[in-house]
Amino acid sequence: MPKEILDKPFMSSQITTDDNDKPVYSPCRYECPIHTDVQRYIHLISNAKYEEAFETIRSVNPLPSTCSYICHHPCENACRRGKIDAPLAIRHLKRYAIQKATEYRKKNRLRPKQTNGKKVAIIGSGPSGLTVASDLADLGYGVTIYEKFSKLGGILALAIPTYRLPREALKEDIDDILAKGVETVLNCEVGKDISLKDLIAKYDTVVVATGLMKSRNLNIPGIDGQGVLLAIPFLIDVFSNDNREFKLGKRVVVIGGGNVAIDVARTAKRLGSDVEMVCLEAPDEMPAWSWEVDEATQEDIKINHRWAPKEIVRKDGIIEGLVVKRVTSVFDSNGRFNPEYDEHITDFISADTVIVSIGQTVDTTFLNDSPLIVDKQGKLVFNNHDYLSNHPKIFYSGEIVTGPGSAVSAIAHGHKVASSIHQRLNDSKTDLSFVEIDKIGDIPETVRNVIKARPRISISLLDTNIRKKTFIPVEIGYDDASALREAKRCRGCGGGAVVDIRKCMACMTCKRICPYDAPVVSFYSRIRQEYCQACGLCVSTCPSKAISMRGMDVESFRKDVIGLLSEKNSNIQTPPFLLYTCITQGLNPEIPQDIKVVSLDCLSRLDVLDIITPFNYAIRGVLLLPCNDDCKYHGVDYWLKMKVLHAKKILSSLSIPQDCIQIIFNNKSELSQNINDSSLNALIQRHKEGLQ
Amino acid sequence: MIVGEQKPFEEIWNMIRQYRRVLVLGCNTCVAVCHSGGEKEAHILSEVIQIKASSTDTSIEVNHMGLVRQCENEYIDDAIHNLQTYEAILSLACGVGVNFLSQKIGSIPVLPGLNTTFYGSVEEAGVFAEMCVGCGDCILHLTGGICPIARCPKSIMNGPCGGTNNGKCEIGVDTDCAWYLIIQRMKALGILHLLEEIQPPRDWSKSFHGGPRRMFVSHVMLNKREDANK
């Protein structure tokens, strides 16, 4: 990733904090292998700033669209809302933002950087290869990808079912990378069509990122012969060669319990077969993601747990079924994979086709005529720190060295390798890898108890009866209103208040006003991050301006407001109104032209100052539209009223009429939940007229 | 803590309207605690001045900043060059800060933005109450910890007076009778008999009546270093 992205300030360096008050990552960001600033893009979505949201995602992720479909979202598993009601639907929101920014993205591909004259060849175009290519192109290298198949994307393009990853999504990502000037040589297998030796003669560095493309096979009686397929070739045939007419038998048994096995089973189902799975593991031991397993089960795929394949029974060479034996344990006492069986307990599953999906391994064709060596066990030799092989010009990247994992982990590894290469080729000591900082602690129970529950808004899935027969995506995206409501569930973990201890004089105001008991005040206030919910009440009330927010730059927010007020609009004859709202207005294009809208995460963050300053510009009044009933925080209504009273008192000394400031109270009776409802406009209109 | 409240805006405006470049200077200690004179209030006031200036076609450049305290050399020294670039400084410190800064700043007027009101406690969020007048001769041990000088409008030493009314003072129902409180409190502490002792007349010269006071703490005074070396 380019240096400037790493330099993105996590928070203002202008303030001095308590030593115990180091910035922390929100759990979502911490758990993301590439530390995507989830909170920031969710916040941008809730302000209808989709392009910025997209750029936030793209800044660390060269395959944002792909991840928005298939990421295993460790961010969601870590989300602190999980302990209150349910985690935020982060992946779905990511997809929503990216889709909203589609047009922008097509027009704003990143262009090639000025070349630094160095050339790198990358073998393989899976997620890690593409990431290395993207990063090095950003840094000015001349990058060429060598791909064995006829399309770019590796497993993503070849074998991931299209009902999970539509290829148009992948294409968007690849187009982004190609726009940076990355060149490609397709249908070229290194070790066969060209050798590694040739490449190291031509390039400054070569990266082997060929992944795990070879399916492992079983060694059981009956395995040889027709009717037995291997997972990866089967998936490639269906999804890369577009062979939707693939003739499977009527009854298919899939052996394996991983994500690939689930893909195989669901694909077989869509090809019209009855499908059963056999896996060694109990449900909670399966390596496949639980939601994938759930979706498979919904599609009438039976999973036989704790059975191991013993023999494929054939009659006249034709498969009749699979004999399975009982698994007594899968892992040993050290937690290592070491299955044990009871050979006497067996069962028989009738089938005419068996697909083996028990893992992948390295295709070592690239070793032919290469200077690379393998150790006594036949394993690749490389340095675990920078992934340099035994040859000074050849690096490894991705699953070939990390073992099987997720797409986003492969991307993370690609970043690491790109960084190693950059350091080596530039003799540079600059470490480009991600800044590793701690994550925020759990939400304390006392705080959990006062947070209002708000159910997760799930996206809808295609009807199971339809999806069993089709390869179109199972997940249907969000509509605007649902996406907004879901985005608003974010608690802003780790993005809350922080005290500048040079300014704090321990006046207790923050402690008194905080609904979550976050501040601890001794010689100065320290705001406990795990308690803070980032509502901003203390920030807007601190008398010495000692508190700022990690997740919101208040100063630049104010500059933006002033910028908006200074804009001249020739269509408007009379001075405009300013409307502050925490209901996003990007969705409501019918707001009258003479209202200038500023949306922010919660009106609790508004200061008296923000209400008064606009009167320095030609405006007719300030309107405040809070979300009221819908507010995710506590006490906001009350404090907003107090701030408005204070502001009115101040303005009265300037002979500005007090009703120039209006809070628009919308409760459910006045404004329906649907923010697109025209009742909002009517409401604004009415309040506006009240001001004239 | 010193409590103060902002002067009416009209008064402030009349003080500063003649200047073209003004700094509103907050004081981030006592008067920030009472939400009258901290950096935040300085910022708000500077905005209000700007609004007034533009609505009256007056050209004034107004900026704001805050110091930790305006009553100590070092805090002022750090900012003095910046402060001296202004035509006038509107200080939101208590009177101490205004006096002290005037003394240090040279030929720039330092104008008071606050009326300094009292030494007070924070009874609850947003409520400040006067409890001491700094008389220089404390007698709280004789009055159950309640000061008749600060809290009785007559400052009488042998109250209550005839104006006490069901625990309230004759000046208004919102004001407690200090002597009523004293007696209740001393009863509760079992020391009411102390009131029977005849006290010598108070030495008011220790108070402001003896002229402006100074205190010397010689063991931290830098200019005593040479004496000590002898």
- pLDDT at A600 > cutoff 90: no
The answer to whether the CB atoms of A507 and B43 lie below 8 A apart is no
CA angle A597, A598, A600 (to 5 degrees): 140
- A573-589 confidence digits (pLDDT tens): 778 889 898 876 555 65
Higher pLDDT pick, A504 / A570? A504
Q: How far apart are CA A570 and CA A106, in angstroms?
A: 31
Q: How far apart are CA B147 and CA B176, in angstroms?
A: 12
Helix (H) or strand (E) segment spanning residue A539: helix A537-541
- pLDDT at A648 > cutoff 60: yes
Tell me the two tokens of residue B163. 């104006």
pLDDT value at position A428?
Answer: 67
- pLDDT at A194 > cutoff 50: yes
User: Around Cβ A482, how many Cβ atoms within 10 Å?
Assistant: 18
E strands, A280-398, are 302-305, 307-315, 318-331, 337-350, 353-356, 360-361, 394-396
Placement of tokens 């006045």 in the chain: A670
Placement of tokens 């006038």 in the chain: B88
Interface test with B, best of A525, A610, A648, A654 (most B CBs within 10 A): A654
For chain A, what percent of residues have pLDDT higher than 70? Answer: 91
Size of interface A-B (CB pairs under 8 A): 69
Q: Which residues pair with A319 in a beta bridge?
A: A314
CA distances from A73 to A31, A458, A477, A547, B168 (A): 9, 15, 16, 33, 67
pLDDT band for position A8 (cuts 50, 70, 90): very low
pLDDT value at position A511?
Answer: 95
Higher pLDDT pick, B162 / A438? B162
Q: Which residues pair with B118 in a beta bridge?
A: B3
**What residues have CB less than 8 Å from A407, skipping those under 6 apart?**
A63, A66, A67, A70, A71, A127, A156
What does B41-88 look like in DSSP terms, one character per residue? HHHHHHHHHHHHHHHTT---EEEEEEES-SSSHHHHHHHHHHHTTSSE
- pLDDT at B227 > cutoff 70: no
- A367-411 confidence digits (pLDDT tens): 988 999 998 888 899 998 889 999 999 999 999 999 999 999 999
pLDDT value at position A692?
Answer: 46
pLDDT value at position A49?
Answer: 87
Distance of alpha carbon B153 from its chain centroid, rounded?
A: 18
The answer to whether the CB atoms of B33 and A613 lie below 8 A apart is no
Contacts of B35 in chain A (CB under 8 A): 509, 543
Q: How far away is chain B from the Cα of A601, in angstroms, using its nearest Cα?
A: 22
Q: How far apart are CA A641 and CA A608, in angstroms?
A: 11
- Give me the sign of the Cα torsion angle A36, A38, A39, A41: positive
Sheet holding A595-599, edge to edge: A595-599, A577-581, A621-625, A661-663
* Chain A: residue whose CA lies nearest to B46: A613
Tell me the two tokens of residue A514. 């905080």
- pLDDT at B190 > cutoff 50: yes
Placement of tokens 């050209």 in the chain: B59
The answer to whether the CB atoms of B48 and A509 lie below 8 A apart is no
Q: How far away is chain B from the Cα of A514, in angstroms, using its nearest Cα?
A: 12
Contacts of A613 in chain B (CB under 8 A): 47
Q: How far apart are CA B1 and CA B94, in angstroms?
A: 11
Contacts of B114 in chain A (CB under 8 A): none
The answer to whether the CB atoms of B39 and A654 lie below 8 A apart is no
Tell me the two tokens of residue B26. 């907050």
Q: Is A502 left (phi over 0), alpha (psi -120 to 50) or beta?
A: alpha
The answer to whether the CB atoms of A503 and B66 lie below 8 A apart is yes
pLDDT band for position A431 (cuts 50, 70, 90): low
Q: How far apart are CA A595 and CA A424, in angstroms?
A: 56
| Residues of chain B by 3-state class (helix, strand, coil), percent to 5 | 40, 20, 40
Interface predicted TM-score (ipTM): 0.88
What does A376-387 look like in DSSP terms, one character per residue? TTS-B-B-TTT-
pLDDT value at position A674?
Answer: 41
- Average pLDDT score over residue span A175-185: 96
Q: Is A264 helix (H, G, I), strand (E, B) or coil?
A: helix
pLDDT value at position A112?
Answer: 85
**What residues have CB less than 8 Å from A443, skipping those under 6 apart?**
A80, A83, A84, A451, A491, A493, A530, A531
Among A573-587, B140-154, B182-196, the least confident range: A573-587
Average pLDDT of the residues of chain A: 88
Among A64-68, A200-204, A673-677, the least confident range: A673-677
Residue extents of the structural domains in chain B: 2-118, 139-197
- B52-86 confidence digits (pLDDT tens): 999 999 999 999 999 999 999 999 998 999 999 99
Q: How far apart are CA A456 and CA A340, in angstroms?
A: 41
- A251-262 confidence digits (pLDDT tens): 999 999 999 999
Higher pLDDT pick, A278 / A476? A278
- pLDDT at A616 > cutoff 60: yes
pLDDT value at position A679?
Answer: 53
Q: How far away is chain B from the Cα of A23, in angstroms, using its nearest Cα?
A: 25
Higher pLDDT pick, A671 / A106? A106
pLDDT value at position A568?
Answer: 76
Q: Are A282 and A305 in contact (CB under 8 A)?
A: yes
- pLDDT at A671 > cutoff 60: no
The answer to whether the CB atoms of B48 and A544 lie below 8 A apart is no
**What residues have CB less than 8 Å from A103, skipping those under 6 apart?**
none
Q: Are B179 and B160 in contact (CB under 8 A)?
A: yes
pLDDT band for position A677 (cuts 50, 70, 90): very low
Q: How far apart are CA A676 and CA A682, in angstroms?
A: 12
pLDDT value at position A673?
Answer: 41
Tell me the two tokens of residue A517. 């008991």
Query: Model pTM?
Result: 0.84
Q: How far apart are CA A104 and CA A662, in angstroms?
A: 36
Inter-axis angle of helices A480-487 and A38-46, to 10 degrees? 130
Q: Are B119 and B3 in contact (CB under 8 A)?
A: yes
pLDDT value at position A12?
Answer: 44
CATH C-level class of B2-118: alpha beta
Contacts of A502 in chain B (CB under 8 A): 68
Contacts of A611 in chain B (CB under 8 A): none
- Average pLDDT score over residue span B21-39: 96
- A33-64 confidence digits (pLDDT tens): 999 999 999 988 988 889 999 999 999 999 99
- Give me the sign of the Cα torsion angle A448, A453, A459, A465: positive
The answer to whether the CB atoms of B39 and A505 lie below 8 A apart is no
The answer to whether the CB atoms of B32 and A544 lie below 8 A apart is yes
Instruction: Report the half-sphere exposure of B80 (CA within 13 A, side-chain side).
Output: 15
pLDDT value at position A377?
Answer: 86
Instruction: Report the half-sphere exposure of B222 (CA within 13 A, side-chain side).
Output: 0
> Which residues of chain A are at the B interface, by a Cβ-Cβ cutoff of 8 Å?
502-503, 505, 507-509, 512-513, 542-546, 607-609, 612-613, 615-616, 650, 653-654, 656
Higher pLDDT pick, A237 / A683? A237
Name the amino acid, one letter, at A659: D
Inter-axis angle of helices A167-179 and A127-138, to 10 degrees? 30
Q: How far apart are CA B27 and CA A521, in angstroms?
A: 20
pLDDT band for position A92 (cuts 50, 70, 90): very high
**What residues have CB less than 8 Å from A50, skipping those under 6 apart?**
A44, A97, A100, A101, A104
